Amino acid sequence: MTQHPAFTGPFALGTFSLEGSAPFPGLVVGDRVRDLSALPAPAGAPTTLALLENWDSALPEWRRLAEGPHSDDWLPLACLHVHAPVRPRQILQAGANYRSHVIELTMAHLAAEDSRSPEDVRAEAVAAVDRRAAEGEPYVFTGLPSALTGAYDDVLLPGWTQQADWELELCAVIGRPAYRVSPEDALGHVAAYTIANDLTARDAVFRDDLGPIGVDWRRAKNPPGFTPLGPFLVPAEHIGVPDDLRVTLRLNGEVKQDDSTKDMIFDVATLVSYASRTTQLLPGDLLLTGSPAGNGIHWGRLLRDGDVIESTITGLGVQSTRFVAEGTGRNPA
């Protein structure tokens, strides 16, 4: 199950392998890939993470390679396995960051004994979101790199959860180290953007045994494969300010999420700046920016064996993920 639609700009980067070979970083131009692992620095490096550490100096070289003749050194993309485009040291994830999603969640969790009308609840939720945007701060937690998988890989649904859900997100990829950067300077530390689907086991989020501690994002969001990433890293200069990108997810061909990043409560620059206040952001780190309304819990339809999700974000290509339930006797491809 592999698709390779266009992305914005003349080139992108990713991690690939031929059957039986080790993964390598590659420059993608159209339907061809140039193995960068054997090239001298700054254009080449053994991993995409290493490329990100030399991002500024490597960009002119990649532009030259993309514009130059494509010899036999360029491999057909269709013959390659597409891995998660980078293996980061750190993953940071923003929660409750789309207005429509927060309002949707508020309505969904309305207690049965609540005497307020739906209209009053919605009005109060809108006012609370507005106050948070004006006076509050983002909510950011950490993820695990071991949860990453490629954009076209199958994902195993573990037998211990019956409520695996989707959360399509724009992902910012750090290129320059960032610590205590201002919102005005923050986007200058973003090298590229990609697609992430931050899958969540809803029935593993809350823990009754922990009192006010409440939630357990580690177990709910980090089983193997629960963060399909990619397919490619699209340079930030090809995307511009990511303030109106369309975020669309289809489950078995039916649209479930469809919104714009302009609905974010805190934009990408604010998120990067906020995360950098207390965390040293490093080249290759991922910052997931939150998911819009339309999760499975809203639709009353969680992921099942055989489901296929197609995820797109403007200019970043597409993911296609098939889900395989544990215990079916079939292994993810």
What pLDDT score does 5 carry? 54
Tens-digit pLDDT string for the chain (333 aa): 444 558 999 999 999 999 989 999 999 999 999 999 999 999 999 999 999 999 999 999 999 999 988 778 899 999 999 999 999 999 999 999 999 887 877 776 666 677 787 788 788 888 888 899 899 999 999 999 999 999 999 999 999 999 999 999 999 999 999 999 999 999 999 999 999 999 999 999 988 787 777 789 999 999 999 999 999 999 999 999 999 999 999 999 999 999 999 999 999 999 999 999 999 999 999 999 999 999 998 899 999 999 999 999 999 999 999 999 998 766 666
Instruction: Tell me, letter by letter, the H, E, C secondary structure of the chain.
Output: CCCCCCCCCCCEEEEEECCCCCCEEEEEECCEEEECCCCCCCCCCCCHHHHHCCHHHHHHHHHHHHHCCCCCCEEEHHHCEECCCCCCCCEEEEECCEHHHHHHHHHHCCCCCCCCCHHHHHHHHHHHHHHHHHHCCCEEEEECHHHEECCCCCEEECCCCCCEECCEEEEEEECCCECCCCHHHHHHHEEEEEEEECCEEHHHCECHHHHHHCECHHHHHCCCCCEEECCCEEEHHHHCCCCCCEEEEEECCEEEEEEEHHHECCCHHHHHHHHHHHCCECCCCEEECCCCCCCHHHHCCCCCCCCEEEEEECCCCEEEEEEEECCCCCCCC
pLDDT at 200: 97
pTM for the model: 0.94
Domain residue ranges in the chain? 12-82, 91-97+138-325, 98-137
Nearest to 196 by CA among 230, 224, 223: 230
pLDDT computed for residue 329 by the predictor: 67
Write down the pLDDT at residue 69.
81
Write out the two tokens for 91. 């993953």
Whole-number pLDDT of residue 1: 42
**What does the pLDDT look like over 276-304, one tens digit per residue?**
999 999 999 999 999 999 999 889 999 99
**What is the predicted pLDDT for the residue at 109?**
65
Quote the percentage of the chain above a pLDDT of 90. Answer: 78
Residues in the chain: 333
Pick the CATH number of 91-97+138-325 from 2.40.10.480, 3.90.850.10, 2.60.120.10, 3.40.50.2000: 3.90.850.10
Query: What's the pLDDT at 331?
Result: 66
Q: What is the pLDDT of residue 100?
A: 86
How many Cβ atoms from other residues are within 10 Å of residue 53's Cβ? Answer: 19
Residue among 7, 4, 194, 12 at smallest CA distance from 80: 4
Q: Are strands 74-76 and 200-201 parallel, antiparallel or unpaired?
A: unpaired
